Structure 1
């Protein structure tokens, strides 16, 4: 299964995406989407160079879109990055049936696989040729979208609703895989992809949401450092919050906004229900979300510090555990040697050894160790011999 991989000749990610080092997350994402669409394999079937450029663009974006990886690269370049842990997007439409089956299998086993959006959907949106269905606030719409296809919805809000905040959520009781997309209107009248949320399993459903609540909201990317966590199961706990990424858009202005549900299943359509609500009736929940987001960010920083302490303690524990094993073996060996020496103090062993080397003696070993009074010779065999001797000396002639 092939996806965008680490280029052999690595260029500066900022150079690849044609952005400056002080570019915002939104500027980086916008540059990536344009280049990814330009070099997408679907649009360049007969151009192998475009496929390599597409991989390079995806690789560069995987660095600059992650705040921690971007910081590491800015500090020490490529050497500071774990290449094996880089997250890539796989184009399902370019995999073929056989590799798609493998991808589906890995996904079923719980391996997070990040997939890219088909070029045809992005191009139709950019050209403004998509059909947009209205989605009034406070309503929901259910449907099924084919794999690698999208259903577009328009959410119209006024000034008061925009100030209160807007939430758009999609759920799937069939646990389908899908993406929730948000498009911004381009100057030519088309729509460019601005936000993307992959569905996550939450209980008995899969869901994805976008929250425009006038404060920084974060999304959870489960594929971040997935390979690194697989190599080190203990890292799964410490890296669990590293996938928390800030959403690039935190508020919407009045007007019509375009969202889409993209089918991300490997073989079948994705069933879904999409709804848009105004946050005004949910003020208490909104404040609770703001508080929880703050606590999670603090906990992420705490975990980073605790991981350092834990690793040191674990190394020390491993050291003393190894010493424990060595000391136990040493004590067992000393006690074994002590028992062996103790068992050497025995007359049986000494006499047996000396008796085997003595010549000219016809006495049995048992007779040599016999020491004591004559009564000790009166064994049952001796009594029997004495009785037989007396019996044979009887004077039988007189009776005759």
Structure 2
């Protein structure tokens, strides 16, 4: 199976990617006892929620299954992964190390796969009103997650938000924007199965994953973020920075404006899809009719030619006529050669002048 769906043999192959989706969905059911019971009782429909969205905990997979998932990720299949249960448990029990991250500074580190680095950021009332941004990027395009945790009364941390890294130019990046107004995030994996089966759907569903973030502002105090290594086999290099949005007033307005345009475009595309599907159906109908009319015309003309050909007494045989013409021309040629020979034989022979016997009378003077 690995050879059959290996990326070297299936680069950018939507069928291979779709096959992986189905196989991994089945694996997701079999590996989850609750979903397995639902499947045993009612089949796939019982566990077919959320468009078969897949979320794999890589830390719980064996080496073979991890390699299997990595191969299809290389094919371009958007695979959703969850944060390791051990990391979440340690955070909930308050057993993680938290490093301070001052506003206006950045930290560059390397985090191991399926591990997390935790950072605390403290903001004032004024900074909270102005807005706050936490961004992470990786220059070597490592995969990671940016996490935000709520602080529990017992001192533990519970996961509240997460943002998967995405390729943006020459880096992978993720960010959380708490600016006091709704900010949106784009989920690239939404409707990925439907998009793989219908190329047009990948366009019309492109903005379906554009959804508002759960939080749009933070209160004054200390907040905890984390960078989680989401690579399959290797660690992730990253740079994290925390910024007050006060110096970025123009960027705030630009963000608000561009996201409003995206929402408007999503509504516009939704209406356009209905028109497009209708026109496409008409085009398919016209194309089918065009092919039918071409065939119908050809058959009518053929029938007409057959009727024309029926107006004759003797069937016209081109091959016989050719042979007759060839034989007659040959006979004419042979007759011409015979007549020429006969005329040559019947013609009297001329005596040559040097064979003529001249009589000379020597008695008469010349």
Query: TM-score, with normalisation over the residues of structure 2?
Result: 0.78
Secondary structure at the aligned position of 1:266 is classed as coil
Report the CA distance between 1:234 and its aligned residue: 1.2
Work out whether residues 4 and 54 of structure 1, in 8 Å CA contact, stay in contact via their aligned partners in 2. no
The answer for the alignment partner of 1:170 in structure 2 is 136
Cα offset, 1:6, TM superposition: 8.2
Cα 1:352–1:269 change in 2 (3 A) is closer
**Per-residue CA shift, 1:131-157, capped at 9, x if unaligned?**
110111100001011111100000000
Question: Quick one: distance in 2 between partners of 1:157 and 1:182?
Answer: 15
Match of 2:92 among 126, 132, 135: 126
Q: Is the 8 A contact 1:352 1:365 kept in 2?
A: no
Pairing partner for 1:332 from 298, 302, 324: 298
The correspondence of residues 149-164 of structure 1 with structure 2, limited to 5 A, is 149-164=115-130
Structure 2 matches for 1:108-147, cutoff 5 A?
Answer: 108-147=74-113
Secondary structure of 1:174's match? coil
Which string of whole-angstrom CA distances, capped at 9 and with x for unpartnered residues, describes residues 62-103 of structure 1? Answer: xxxxxxxxxxxxxxxx98x97693212111112211111121
2:266 aligned residue (297, 300, 308): 300
| Compared CA separation, residues 198 and 55, structure 1 to 2 (3 A) | farther
* Backbone CA RMSD of aligned residues: 3.4
Q: Per-residue CA shift, 1:215-235, capped at 9, x if unaligned?
A: 111111111011110111111
**Residues 351 and 224 (structure 1 numbering): CA distance in 2 closer, same or farther, change over 3 Å?**
closer
Is structure 2 residue 207 aligned with structure 1 residue 207? no
Pair 300,365 (structure 1): closer, same or farther in 2 beyond 3 Å: closer
Decide whether aligned partners of structure 1 residues 3 and 393 sit closer, same or farther in structure 2, where only a CA change above 3 A counts: closer
Aligned length: 319
Of 319, 341, 362, the residue aligned with 2:285 is 319
- 2:241 corresponds to 1:260: no
More RCO (CA 8 Å, sep 6+)? 2
In structure 2, distance between residues paired with 1:332 and 1:224: 49
2: CA distance, partners of 1:187 / 1:342: 99
1:131 to 1:55, Cα distance in 2 relative to 1, 3 A? farther
- Contact 2:28/2:56 (<8 A) preserved: no
Match of 1:90 among 53, 56, 80: 56
On the 8 A contact 2:141/2:170 being kept in 1, the answer is yes
Structure 1 residue 305 displacement after superposition: 1.3
In structure 2, relative to structure 1, the CA distance for the partners of 1:95 and 1:223 (3 Å cut) is same
1:277 is paired with a residue whose SS is: strand
Aligned pairs (5 A) from 1:1-400: 2=24, 51-53=32-34, 85-342=51-308, 349-350=315-316, 381-393=334-346
**What is the CA-CA distance between 1:308 and the residue it aligns to?**
1.2
SS of the residue corresponding to residue 81 of structure 2 reads coil
The CA distance in 2 between the partners of 1:98 and 1:351, in whole Å, is 75
In structure 2, stretches of 5+ residues that fail to align are 1-22, 39-43, 350-366
- SS of equivalent to 1:318: helix
Q: Distance in 1 between matches of 2:132 and 2:238?
A: 20
TM-score, reference length from structure 1: 0.71
Q: Do the aligned residues in 1 keep the contact of 2:111 with 2:236 (CA within 8 Å)? A: yes
